[in-house]
Structure 1
Amino acid sequence: MNKQAIQASEVFDDEDYTDDEIRSFIEYYSNKNNGEYEPYCKAIVDCLEEML
């Protein structure tokens, strides 16, 4: 399920992000949105952190 969530995330459509953009994505997925975390946010954050 983690792999499917990562593939479904639009974040990974373009891997030419700056470090600041990646940090913004990490911040987004690390915080609750409307009181809930995004599904499989930890897996997505882990992948984003590897990109730094």
Structure 2
Amino acid sequence: MCEDNYRQMLEEYRGIVNELFMLILDRNEQKSIEIANLRMKIETRSHDKKVKEI
């Protein structure tokens, strides 16, 4: 009986940890996308400035 309760609790914790891990991965992926977008904007602006100078 005690072992079954322990297993059930362990499974619940494992599910919670997996959810948290997925949230962290989603957030990191979103941040990576935001950083890539900012880099593209910066590159585009610096390219536009070079074109104007020429």
Give the TM-score normalised by the residue count of structure 1.
0.30
Higher RCO structure, 1 or 2 (CA under 8 Å, sep 6+): 1
Higher helix share: 2
Say which one has the larger Rg: 2
